[in-house]
Every structure is written in structure tokens, then in C-alpha cells.
Amino acid sequence: MKRSRLITLLGSLCAVSTALATTYVRVEKDGTKTYSDRPIPGGQAIDLEPAQTYSAPSAGVSGDSGVRTEPPEAEFRYESCEITPPNDSTFTNPESVSISANTSPPLRAADVMAMTVDGQQANGPDARSHLMTPVNRGTHVVSITVRSQSGQVLCSSTASFHVQQPGLNSPARQQTAPPRPRPRG
């Protein structure tokens, strides 16, 4: 008796694990059933119902409220992040340089834009523009990063601009001396 129960139990486990395969059953003289995944003498093929499954409803779906919501963060990206002045711009003797950043589409209310100029944060944690004064000669690097509330980077961009300031001894800045008056005589 114990043996037939064991066979029945093992047969049931095989039936569950091979639900997509054909299963065979044979009823013994004492009424117990023997299951197999191979044809057995005196047995017949049976169709097993698929196992019952459960799919959880998607979170937050309670009908159309008529309110337009932003796309989930995982799906949202800005098309572009633009920095002004454009990359590789050159300025000669500027007193100041105006730097600004824009996104397309426009920056969402919950997102934060951070701007750095030469590695230093410009105008606080939510900077969209900066007036650089004084402007030292050389190359300057501007970077912007737009982050969501959760800290996910949604857009970033980097641009550099060059400042030329000729020195006092530069040939372009040297003036020619007026001719000396000749003595009359």
C-alpha cells in the first residue's frame, strides 16, 4: 500500500513537472493509479489542465481620472541639453561672458539642473545661467547635468570656450611712437 502511494506521489510530481509533455495513467487492480511520461502497458494518455496562475494588477490603475500625468522616470529623457556659448567659441578681450543652459522639452518642475564652470558649481544647485566675470584667458569648460527627484541623470552636456587676451607686449597692442620733432635750424 505504501509503495503504491509513493508511486502515485512520484507520478503526480512528474505530471506537474512535465505538464507540457504527454502523460499516461494506468489503474491497478487495487484501484491505485500509476503515472508515467512514457506509454505503459494497459495505460492511456491523459490531458492535464495547465497550472493555475495569478497576474497581479498593475499598480496605480484605478480608471481614467482625466488628469494627464508625466511619463514614468524610466521612460522620460530630454531630447537635448544645450549650452550657450556653443562648444569651441572664442572671445577676444571680453569683460564678461554670459553662460546659459536650456533643455528640450523645457525643464520639468521637479527636475534639477546643476551647472559647473571650470569644475566649480555656478549660482547654487539649480543654475540655468551664470555671468562669468572677470574672464581669465585660456579655455573654460561648462558642464550641465539634469537630474530627477530620485537622482537619475536625465540629460547632461559639456562645452568649452576660449578666451584670448593679448598681453601688453603683444605686437597687436604695441603702439608706434610719434615721430620726434626735428630742431629748426
Structure confidence at residue 33 (pLDDT): 87
Q: Which residues contact 85 (CB under 8 A, 6 or more apart)?
A: 91, 97, 99, 159, 161
Structure confidence at residue 73 (pLDDT): 54
Structural contact between residues 135 and 121, judged by C-beta atoms closer than 8 angstroms: no
Answer whether residue 177 is part of any domain. no
Structure confidence at residue 19 (pLDDT): 47
Q: What is the count of structural domains for the chain?
A: 2
Residues 84 and 157 in one domain: yes
CB count in 10 Å sphere of residue 100: 16
Structure confidence at residue 17 (pLDDT): 52
For the entire predicted model, the pTM comes to 0.51
Answer whether residue 65 is part of any domain. no
Residues 85 and 28 in one domain: no
Structure confidence at residue 134 (pLDDT): 87
Answer whether residue 70 is part of any domain. no
- Residue 170: CA count within 13 A, CB half-sphere: 7
For 12, 37, 45, 71, 146, the CA distances from 17, given in Å and listed in that order, are 9, 10, 16, 41, 50
CA dihedral 87, 131, 79, 104 (to 10 degrees): -130
Structure confidence at residue 176 (pLDDT): 62
Structure confidence at residue 170 (pLDDT): 61
| Residue ranges making up the domain that contains 23 | 2-46
Q: What is the pLDDT along the chain (185 residues), one digit of tens a residue?
A: 566 676 766 666 655 554 456 888 898 889 898 888 888 888 888 887 777 777 777 765 555 555 445 555 567 888 888 999 999 999 998 999 999 999 999 988 888 888 999 988 887 667 788 888 888 889 999 999 998 888 889 899 999 999 998 776 666 555 666 677 778 76
CB count in 10 Å sphere of residue 129: 13
Answer whether residue 176 is part of any domain. no
